Amino acid sequence: MKIDNVKKICVVGAGNMGHQISLLCAIHGYKTTCTDVVPEILKKAEKFADTYLPGRVEKGKMAKDVAEAARKRISFTPDLKEAAREADFVIEAATEILDLKRKIFTDLDRHAPAHAILATNSSYLVSSLIADATKRPSQVVNMHFFNPALVMKLVEVVKGPHVSDETAKTTMDLSEKLEKIPVLLKKEVEGFLLNRIFRVIGQEALWMLEMGIATA
């Protein structure tokens, strides 16, 4: 599937990352459905949309008609089947628990259209650990946003050995449509790109502290 065919997006998980990703997609013209099994979290996500958009207008950061159109494009439901049934692209932003993610992807595989790409926003679980829970492994990919997703520009797209070239390209293209700066990792690696770099920086800082070169 190519980027021009992506019209509707489903975001699974309405927590801190999920509700921001949902709103980001709606702001950039996609009909977006956000879903979560916890009613309180879903209600909080909807309240965020109702306050964030008018707030941007008040600050002069967004035109009123743009904000109103974005609000009309986003909806919230506790029903995963309803959220995914017409989605062209799904972004899972649930808790970082592998068994939970595999269960979600099994359900998504059953409910989402056959052409839909299923992406995980996981910051460290590679999609090859999840892909075989579906019948469409070539359409399962990592699409990692950084917090806060409405602000941070970088998106890590990880192309595991099971991911098709078309899936990777469409995911990169969607990132750009959302006005992000995507980086493609051609192979799966623990920690992806930024976490590995930050780990080395942290080790070097601790070494300089231990050697008495610099204070904390």
Given a contact cutoff of 8 angstroms between Cβ atoms, the answer to whether 86 and 8 are in contact is: yes
- Reply yes or no on whether 127 is catalytic: no
Query: What is the 3-state secondary structure of 131-151?
Result: HHHCCCHHHEEEEEECCCCCC
Q: Measured between alpha carbons, how far is residue 142 from residues 38, 72, 83, 183, 186 in Å?
A: 24, 28, 20, 11, 11
Candidate list 22, 92, 142, 156, residue with the active-site label: 156
- Reply yes or no on whether 144 is catalytic: yes
Q: Is 13 helix (H, G, I), strand (E, B) or coil?
A: coil
**164-169-175 Cα angle (round to 5):** 130
- Reply yes or no on whether 128 is catalytic: no
- Structural domain boundaries in the chain: 3-190
- Reply yes or no on whether 195 is catalytic: yes
* pLDDT tens digits along 47-88: 999 999 999 999 999 999 999 999 999 999 999 999 999 999
Per-residue pLDDT at 35: 98
Candidate list 16, 28, 68, 123, residue with the active-site label: 123
> pTM score, two decimals?
0.94
- What is the CATH topology of the domain spanning 3-190? Rossmann fold (3.40.50)
CA 72 to chain centre: 20
Candidate list 19, 111, 144, 162, residue with the active-site label: 144
Per-residue pLDDT at 190: 87
Per-residue pLDDT of the chain (216 residues), as tens digits, is 999 999 999 999 999 999 999 999 999 999 999 999 999 999 999 999 999 999 999 999 999 999 999 999 999 999 999 999 999 999 999 999 999 999 999 999 999 999 999 999 999 999 999 999 999 999 999 999 999 999 999 999 999 999 999 999 999 999 999 999 999 999 999 889 999 999 999 999 999 999 999 999
Mean pLDDT value across the chain: 97
Given a contact cutoff of 8 angstroms between Cβ atoms, the answer to whether 126 and 158 are in contact is: yes
